Amino acid sequence: MDSGGDERGEAAGGTEAREPALPDPSLAGLFLGFLTVGLLGFGGVLPIARRMIIEDKRWMTAAEFADLLGLCQFLPGGNVINLSVAVGFSFRGSAGAAAALLGLVTMPGAIVIALGILYTRFQDDPQVRHVFAGLAATAAGLLIATAVKLALPLRDKPVRIGIALLCFGAVAILRLPLVPTLIVLAPFSMLVIRLTRG
């Protein structure tokens, strides 16, 4: 998943950090900037987005970027998806958010459908099935590594490990639906962390 996203907004210099004395992108600029990010972002879009926004286009400072990313990580939705919306919105309002989001997903969407067409056409070929079995097993390995990386910061926090295991058991083993699971577990998690200071 999105690695390198642990920077939090604490260093962002408080509330006045939101006015960059930097270039002010147009709608087309936002669309094209995120179009490039979508095309180049193989297996981790966040580092590419970061480089585009801070270094190439200089739309934001590193601190402003970290601040916005911290917000995006705690909202629902993919981190980079939310980031595109947040960056677009802060420069050009709703239209900017739409331009950035469309830029981000247009090319990957077209590519993924093209791959899907190829897959549908060749999926009955036994050799192609083996290639897909290999891809699927690789994807599983990548996900396991992501889970481990996410879990590492919790290693000296038994209360949080317990909550993570509870959530894992509910969804992976009992296969409970996500809505009731989240409605129960999210407040429970905050309450327990608050009470135990774990």
Partner 1 sequence: MLGSIAAIFGQLSLLAFGGGNTILPEMQRQVVEVHRWMSASDFTSLFALAQAAPGPNLMIVTLLGWRLAGLPGALVATFCQFTPSALVTGLAVAAWQRFHTSGWRRLIAAGLVPITVGLVAASATVIARSADKSWFFAALTALVAGVTLTTRTHPLCLLAFGALYGWFGGLFAM
Instruction: Give the footprint of partner 1 on residues 91-150 (CB under 8 A).
Output: 94, 97, 101, 104-105, 107-109, 111-113, 115-116, 119-120, 123, 126-127, 129-150
Which residue among 27, 32, 63, 182 contacts partner 1 (CB under 8 A)? 182
Q: Which of 21, 55, 124, 179 binds partner 1 (CB under 8 A)?
A: 179
Q: Least distance (Å) from partner 1 to the CB of residue 51?
A: 15
Cβ proximity of 20 and 68 under 8 Å: no
DSSP 2-20: --S----GGGG-GGGGG--
CB 55 to partner 1: min, Å: 20
Q: Using CA atoms, how far apart are residues 54 and 60, in angstroms rounded to an integer?
A: 5
- Residue of the chain from 43, 55, 124, 156 that contacts partner 1 (CB under 8 A): 43
Binding-residue pattern over the window 51 to 90 for partner 1, x denoting contact by CB under 8 A:
-----------------x--xxxxxxxxxxxx--xx--xx
Smallest separation (angstroms) from partner 1 to the CB of 4? 11
User: Distance (Å, rounded) from C-alpha 132 to C-alpha 103?
Assistant: 29
Consecutive H or E run containing 50? helix 46-50
Look up residue 26 and give its DSSP letter: -
For residues 49 and 5, the answer to whether their CB atoms sit within 8 Å is no
Q: How far is CA 35 from CA 21, 31, 45, 60, 79, in A?
A: 24, 6, 12, 18, 16
CB of 119 to partner 1, least distance (A): 6
* CB closer to partner 1, 14 vs 55: 14
Give the residue with the Cβ less far from partner 1, 28 or 178.
178
